[in-house]
């Protein structure tokens, strides 16, 4: 396993574009801290976003994993191109001739994907911990380490998404087209989602129950948007006479759906590679 990771690391290490994208990605995650400095005046009173409780434990776990997940596209580009470049440089062929099996090849890519997801999670944990310790109103141990399941959800979500990208890279063989395909897939899911919601199952939860099984949607709903959960927003909503009753929690079956998608994408990548003549 270490050998496979070492091989993949060697391939990425010397690629300038991969290095730039990965570095940008991690720097951007640390930029979440900059939200703290946002200030705006509202009818004479000065608001500081940091004071609105977004960096309070345990809410910060939810908030940060949601915000950080939007940056995943940077790594998606790296992953798609690390797959499709093997095709366009025909190095995949050479790797196999040199004595890598197709299984090892897919495994080395998948391990890298998991590595990226794990690294992001650890990095996010550290950034959030530092931010929280500096701004949170509560710093008791038991509070700091509650609601950690958001990080687990973040990890599963990234793994699933990156594996999807990996599969698209194998399927389409050209990085630009694979990213285009990802976008088209997202539009398709949105259209079906919209149709189900507004046309076929108006009202009720049938539409939700169906779309939660779609690959991108299942990843998207793992960590729901945290903004409406803020005290300030909640209070404002109550004053306007509407009530949020949203489920922000992480559910095991949602995690399971994404894990199953991950397994399917890994298997499909392998099956595709096995079937193809190079």
Partner 1 sequence: METILTLNNLTKRFGPITAVKDLSFTIEKGNVYGILGPNGSGKSTTLGIVLNVVNKTSGDFQWFEGNESTHNALKKVGAIIERPNFYPYMTAAQNLKLVCKIKDVSPDKIDEKLKIVGLLDRKNSKFRTFSLGMKQRLAIASALLNDPEILILDEPTNGLDPQGIHQIREIITKIAGLGTTILLASHLLDEVEKVCTHVVIIRKGEKLYSGRVDEMNASHGFFELKASDIIKLQELLKKHPSIGKIVPKENCLTAFLNEPMEPETLNTYLFEHGLVLSQLVKRKESLEEQFLQLTNQISA
Distances (CA, A) of 200 to 49, 93, 192, 193, 215: 41, 48, 10, 10, 21
To the nearest whole angstrom, how small is the minimum distance from the Cβ of residue 17 to partner 1?
8
Distance CA 276, CA 250 (A): 39
3-state secondary structure 83-110: HHHHHHCCHHHHHHHCCCCHHHHHHHHH
Q: Under a CB-based contact definition with an 8 Å cutoff, are residues 81 and 170 in contact?
A: no
Q: Does 15 bind partner 1 (CB under 8 A)?
A: yes
To the nearest whole angstrom, how small is the minimum distance from the Cβ of residue 149 to partner 1?
38
To the nearest whole angstrom, how small is the minimum distance from the Cβ of residue 218 to partner 1?
33
Q: Does 271 bind partner 1 (CB under 8 A)?
A: no
# of chain residues touching partner 1 (CB under 8 A): 26
Closest CB to partner 1 among 55 and 105?
105
Pairing state of beta strands 39-42 and 45-48? antiparallel
Closest CB to partner 1 among 48 and 93?
93
The interface with partner 1 within residues 32-91 (CB under 8 A) comprises 89-91
To the nearest whole angstrom, how small is the minimum distance from the Cβ of residue 91 to partner 1?
5
Q: Does 3 bind partner 1 (CB under 8 A)?
A: yes
Q: Under a CB-based contact definition with an 8 Å cutoff, are residues 83 and 75 in contact?
A: no
Q: Does 6 bind partner 1 (CB under 8 A)?
A: yes
Q: Does 2 bind partner 1 (CB under 8 A)?
A: no
Q: Does 23 bind partner 1 (CB under 8 A)?
A: no
To the nearest whole angstrom, how small is the minimum distance from the Cβ of residue 85 to partner 1?
8
Q: How far apart are the first and last CA of the chain?
A: 25
Q: Does 273 bind partner 1 (CB under 8 A)?
A: no
Q: Under a CB-based contact definition with an 8 Å cutoff, are residues 84 and 43 in contact?
A: no
To the nearest whole angstrom, how small is the minimum distance from the Cβ of residue 89 to partner 1?
6
Binding pattern to partner 1, positions 81-120, x when CB under 8 A? --------xxx-xxxxxxxxxx-x----------------
Please enumerate in sequence order all residues whose Cβ is within 8 A of that of 165, keeping only pairs 6 or more positions apart, or say none.
76, 79, 80, 83, 113, 178, 182
Residues that bind partner 1 (CB under 8 A): 3, 6-7, 10-11, 14-16, 89-91, 93-102, 104, 274-275, 277-278
């Amino acid at each position: 396993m270490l050998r496979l990771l070492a091989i993949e690391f060697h391939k990425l290490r010397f690629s300038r574009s991969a290095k730039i994208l990965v570095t940008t990605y991690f720097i951007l995650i640390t930029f979440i801290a900059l939200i703290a400095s946002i200030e705006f005046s509202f009818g004479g009173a000065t608001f500081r976003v940091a004071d609105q409780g977004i960096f309070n434990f345990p809410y910060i776990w939810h908030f940060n994993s949601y915000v950080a997940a939007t940056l995943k596209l940077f790594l998606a580009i790296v992953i798609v191109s690390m797959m499709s470049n093997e095709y366009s440089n025909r190095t995949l062929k050479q790797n196999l001739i040199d004595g890598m099996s197709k299984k090892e090849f897919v495994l080395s890519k998948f391990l890298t994907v998991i590595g990226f997801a794990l690294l992001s999670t650890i990095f996010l944990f550290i950034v959030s911990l530092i931010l929280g310790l500096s701004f949170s109103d509560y710093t008791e141990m038991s509070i700091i380490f509650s609601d950690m399941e958001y990080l687990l959800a973040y990890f599963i979500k990234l793994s699933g998404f990156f594996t999807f990208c990996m599969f698209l890279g194998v399927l389409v063989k050209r990085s630009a087209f694979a990213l285009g395909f990802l976008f088209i897939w997202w539009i398709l899911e949105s259209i079906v989602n919209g149709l189900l919601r507004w046309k076929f199952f108006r009202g009720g939860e049938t539409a939700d129950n169906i779309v939660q099984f779609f690959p991108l949607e299942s990843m998207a709903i793992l960590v729901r948007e945290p903004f409406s959960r803020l005290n300030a927003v909640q209070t404002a909503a109550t004053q306007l006479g509407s009530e949020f009753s949203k489920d922000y929690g992480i559910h095991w079956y949602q995690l399971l759906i994404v894990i199953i998608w991950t397994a399917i994408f890994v298997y499909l990548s392998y099956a595709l590679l096995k079937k193809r003549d190079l």
